[in-house]
Amino acid sequence: MSKTSGAVGKASAALALLALCAVLCAGCRTERTEAPERRAQGRAERTVTIFLAAGLHQTFDELARELERREPGLKINIEASGSLEAARKLTDYQRTGDIVVLADKRLMEAMLIPQYAAWAIEFCTNELVLAYSENSRYAAEINEENWTDVLLREDVRICRADEHLAPIGYRTLMAWQLADKLYADKLGGRSIYQTLIRRVGKELIRPDVEEVIPLIGTEADYAIIYRSTAHEHNLPYVNLPPEINLGEPAQAEFYAQAKVLVRQQGGELNELRGSPIVFTLTIPKEAKNPADAAEFVALLLSEEGRRALSDHGFSPIVPARCAQRAALPEKLQPLLEEGER
CATH for 73: 3.40.190.10
Residue 289: per-residue pLDDT: 98
Quote the percentage of the chain above a pLDDT of 90: 82
Mean pLDDT check: name the lowest of 13-22, 65-74, 273-282. Answer: 13-22
Quick check: 240 and 145 in contact, CB under 8 A? no
Domain that holds residue 28: 10-44
Residue 4: per-residue pLDDT: 40
Answer yes or no: is 340 within a domain: no
The residue among 105, 60, 104 whose CA lies nearest residue 79 is: 60
Does residue 299 share a domain with residue 269? no
Instruction: Round to whole Å and give the CA distance between 135 and 214.
Output: 12
Answer yes or no: is 92 within a domain: yes
- Look over the chain and give the mean of its residue pLDDT values, rounded to a whole number: 88
Answer yes or no: is 5 within a domain: no
Strand stretches in the chain, DSSP E: 46-53, 74-81, 99-102, 121-125, 128-131, 160-161, 205-206, 223-226, 237-239, 259-263, 269-273, 278-282, 315-322
Residue 8: per-residue pLDDT: 40
Q: What is the largest CA-CA distance in the chain?
A: 126
Does residue 189 share a domain with residue 110? no
Mean pLDDT check: name the lowest of 27-36, 157-166, 189-198, 324-333. Answer: 27-36
Does residue 108 share a domain with residue 26? no
Number of domains observed in the structure of the chain: 3
Q: What is the pTM of this model?
A: 0.82
Does residue 144 share a domain with residue 263? yes
Residue 318: phi, psi to the nearest 5? Answer: -125, 120
Does residue 141 share a domain with residue 34? no
Strands 269-273 and 259-263: antiparallel
The residue among 159, 135, 129, 162 whose CA lies nearest residue 147 is: 129
Instruction: Round to whole Å and give the CA distance between 45 and 60.
Output: 21
Answer yes or no: is 331 within a domain: yes
State the pLDDT confidence band at 340, using cuts at 50, 70 and 90. Answer: very low
Answer yes or no: is 2 within a domain: no
Residue 263: per-residue pLDDT: 87
State the pLDDT confidence band at 196, using cuts at 50, 70 and 90. Answer: very high
Give the residue-averaged pLDDT of 46-75: 96
Where does a domain end: 257, 273, 289?
273
Answer yes or no: is 4 within a domain: no
Answer yes or no: is 341 within a domain: no
pLDDT surpasses 80 at 12: no
Residue 271: phi, psi to the nearest 5? Answer: -85, 125
Does residue 181 share a domain with residue 66? no
- Could you give the 3-state DSSP secondary structure of residue 305? helix
Does residue 115 share a domain with residue 227? no
pLDDT (tens digit per residue) in 62-120: 999 999 999 999 999 999 999 999 999 999 999 999 999 999 999 999 999 999 999 99
Does residue 259 share a domain with residue 140? yes
pLDDT surpasses 80 at 11: no
Does residue 201 share a domain with residue 137? yes
Residue 44: per-residue pLDDT: 52
Give the residue-averaged pLDDT of 44-58: 91
Does residue 141 share a domain with residue 231? yes
pLDDT surpasses 60 at 122: yes
Residue 265: per-residue pLDDT: 66
State the pLDDT confidence band at 24, using cuts at 50, 70 and 90. Answer: very low
State the pLDDT confidence band at 155, using cuts at 50, 70 and 90. Answer: very high
Quick check: 320 and 122 in contact, CB under 8 A? yes
Does residue 233 share a domain with residue 158? yes
Burial pattern 186-199, b for ≥16 Cβ within 10 A else e, equals ebeeebbbebbeee
The residue among 214, 225, 200, 208 whose CA lies nearest residue 130 is: 225
Residue 323: per-residue pLDDT: 94
State the pLDDT confidence band at 312, using cuts at 50, 70 and 90. Answer: very high
Does residue 258 share a domain with residue 136? yes
| Sheet with 315-322: strands ordered across | 74-81, 46-53, 99-102, 278-282, 121-125, 315-322
